[in-house]
Structure 1
Amino acid sequence: MADRTAAAVMALRGLALGDAFGETWFFRPADQVTTAVQERRLKDGPWPWTDDTAMALSLLRVLSEHRRVEQDALAVAFAESYAADPYRSYGSSMHDVLIAIGQGEAWPEVTRRKFDGMGSWGNGAAMRVAPLGAWFADDLDLVVTEAARSAAVTHAHPEAVAGAVAVAVAAALSVRGVPGGELIEAVAGRVPDTEVGSRLRRATKLAATADPRHVAGMLGCGMQISAVDTVPYAIWCAATRLDDLTEALWATALPGGDIDTTCAIVGGIIGGRRGLAGVPADWLAACEPLPAWVDRL
């Protein structure tokens, strides 16, 4: 299998940019977001990234050290990163999970007891996984397996796992150069029979030229902070603009929703294919830099 470390790093850089860009739209009324996006009015920097990038960094570090998802190491990495900087906009349930893991509780017990034993079906496992898809891009079966293993450390619910698998496969296919017109259907074919999969199949029928606000009305755009209402929309946005990361992020932000997460997913999928090519210099200057160790991979 070819070494895809460079692609994984590019995916991480795209993810971090999307995350930081998306975070700039929070705490504004929805109508103001839509107007500002339509007018292409950016917030002045700096643009800090959030838990999306923090957790993606932990995942990439574990992959670089173990060449696979070593789940116990990943759980520790997540907990240590959280303890070092808990103010990265982590979801409420993740505060409890990561504190418990940091205190020595076994991650399978912690994750399974969330939401009355169902586990979280949030979008956290999906938002961080694009670098993994890029890392294993030459083996789609391995992408599916490793994405599911990475999700299980924090999200036990099948929908959350399906969301992570979908994003990882999308990132892998993007790295492999699959055309956008084929990408969503190919992803849907690899995702378990879930509501995430059902909405991905719905997304295959939506025109690439559709207004993102219409698509968000059909698929969701993260308002519920679930994998179900986040992942299909983000994959549609990425697939319809695979060769222009900047335009993809503007389109993704238009309907509002969980914008840092949808944009992080889109940035990760496109970043593994194109890196940050074509991104304006002022965006790059505004985005919070990644840790120096990433440059050494």
Structure 2
Amino acid sequence: MLGSVSLNPENPPRTEPSALDSGESSFHLPLEGQAGKVFGALLGGALGDALGYAVEFSPAAEISAAFGPDGLRDFAALPAPVPFSDDTQMTLYTLDGLLEALEWANQGVGADETACIWLAYLRWLKTQGVALDPAAPSPPLRWIDTQAVLHHRRAPGNACLSGLSGPDMGTTFRPVNPDSKGCGTVMRSAPFGLLPYVEPEMVYRLSQDAAALTHGHPSALHSAAVFSVLIHDLLAPEASLQDAAESAVRRAGESGVPELAARLADAVALAGSGPVSPAELTAALGAGWVAEEALAIGVYAALATSGAGTPQEHFRAAVALAVNHDGDSDSTGSITGNIVGTLHGAAALPTDWLEALEGREVIEELARQFLKATTG
């Protein structure tokens, strides 16, 4: 339970509108400290997702033909507002599920975190135009569900849809889609790593249990969990990306999933060569459609560009490297944006990209709600 995180008993479960409903948005982001890292992780993931979503399903050759030999590298090449995909939608619903559990805990009421996340995902499923199974619970609406920008259907993964379409909640002991190892578990799992005052083992368990709501393959479960703990490691004030990546490799080796351990080790090794071509990237790490490949590309892109200069230069270079290839560009961009955004905080996020991002105000508001529930 998350009772140990409950620092603000004045924060009950909320479904009421916030200041955002009046159209207000300060756009004054906290740049440092834990708040800066939370905003950096969530908005950074959305920015990477949005850049990659523009070229998802496009081969590298087509990307180069459309945007030049270096590929798509900037929001300036895209019409505004630039939309994000189901990756950011599900990340925000993961955050909202955790937020509901935290709000109950702050009232002294225990709540099953995974059940709260399942109910959040069922609410997301309805935004995709999918009717819930008649035997499934019908959770009441919360603030996030009133945000029309999250109701677009943007290529959601088949396992995410089918895993939530039945009457029962998937678990690690009774998984749905037992053979599915798609990256849909990883791309939505950064919020677990943003929980403060929680041991890495609990972050790992929460993420793994939530992954089992839609996917059952061990790589899908453990890739998500390793990613969440990587984000948690980067939440520390003086975090080292290299140390966090090496810790992720060790955890992957302990997971009992050989393909996950191998891909992450390959990612760290490849990063020593710096940025490589799209063909070299996918030959070494895969295309990112499955969980361990998407995580490996995200870790590689963040590490390989870490000498790019300022935090913003690092962010731009990392995300561009992560999306210009033949594979699942929005997911690899999202994961990379989560990583670099958490590492540097909101100071890494390009202002012109933020201004062009669709739905930025919704992400900011949810980040504020999460920070209020966790730190007061």
TM-score, normalised with respect to structure 2 = 0.69
Letter in 2 for 1:279: L
Q: Among 189, 209, 220, which residue is 1:149 paired with?
A: 209
| Number of the residue aligned with 2:358 | 288
Q: Does 1:186 align with 2:247?
A: yes
Q: CA deviation at 1:197?
A: 1.4
Written as runs of structure 1 = structure 2, the 5 A alignment for 1:55-94 is 55-67=90-102, 70-86=113-129, 87-94=153-160
Q: Which stretch shifts more, 155-164 or 136-145?
A: 136-145
Distance in 1, Cα, partners of 2:82 & 2:173: 32
Instruction: Write the distance in 1 (CA, Å) between the matches of 2:302 and 2:181.
Output: 22
Aligned to 1:14: 44
User: Which of 326, 341, 348 pairs up with 1:271?
Assistant: 341
Deviation of the 1:266 alpha carbon: 0.7
Q: Give the superposition deviation at 1:111.
A: 7.2
CA contact (8 A) 2:264 2:292 kept: no
Q: Is the 8 A contact 2:302 2:340 kept in 1?
A: yes
1:209 matches 2:279: no
**How many angstroms apart in 2 are the aligned matches of 1:255 and 1:203?**
15
Superposition CA RMSD, Å: 2.7
Of 237, 245, 257, which aligns to 2:315? 245
Shift of 1:240: 3.1
1:165 corresponds in structure 2 to 225
- What is the number of residues matched between the two proteins? 289
1:93, CA displacement in angstroms? 2.6
How far apart, in 1, do the equivalents of 2:250 and 2:92 lie? 28
| Alignment deviations for residues 180-237 of structure 1 (CA, whole Å, 9 cap, x no partner) | 3333221111121211112112223221514153233111131xx2113221121111
Contact persistence 1:132–1:147 (CA under 8 A): yes
* Conserved? CA contact 2:37–2:342, under 8 Å: yes
Alpha-carbon spacing, 1:106–1:280, altered in 2? closer, same or farther (3 Å) = closer
Unaligned 5+ residue runs, structure 2? 8-33, 103-110, 130-152, 371-376
Structure 2 vs 1, CA of residues 190 and 212 (structure 1 numbering), >3 Å: closer, same or farther? farther
Task: Verify the 8 A CA contact 1:167 1:235 in the aligned structure 2.
Answer: no
Which residue of 2 is the match for residue 54 of structure 1? 89
Identity fraction in percent: 26
Aligned to 1:43: 78
Pair 1:199-2:271 in alignment: no
Letter in 2 for 1:221: A
Distance 1:209 1:278 in 2: 20
Aligned AA (2:121): F
Counterpart secondary structure, 2:269: coil
Q: Is the 8 A contact 2:41 2:340 kept in 1?
A: yes
How far, CA to CA, are the matches of 1:27 and 1:121 in structure 2? 19
Q: Which has the larger radius of gyration?
A: 2
Q: Runs in 1 of length 4+ with deviation above 6 angstroms? A: none
For residues 111 and 49 of structure 1, do their structure 2 counterparts lie closer, same or farther at Cα, with a shift above 3 Å needed?
A: farther
Q: Deviations along 1:137-189, whole A, 9 cap, x unmatched?
A: 76322222222122122222100012102211221222224323333221111
- CA distance, structure 1, for counterparts of residue 350 and residue 235 of structure 2: 22
Q: Deviations over 1:61-106 (max 9, x none)?
A: 1222224871122111111112123413211232222232xxx333
2:297 pairs with 220, 233, 237, which one? 233
Offset, 1:48? 1.4
Unaligned 5+ runs, structure 1? none
Q: Could you say which residue in structure 2 is the equivalent of 1:26?
A: 56
* More deviation, 140-149/253-262: 140-149
Distance (whole Å) between structure 1 residues aligned to residue 158 and residue 126 of structure 2: 15
Separation in 2, partners of 1:289, 1:252: 22
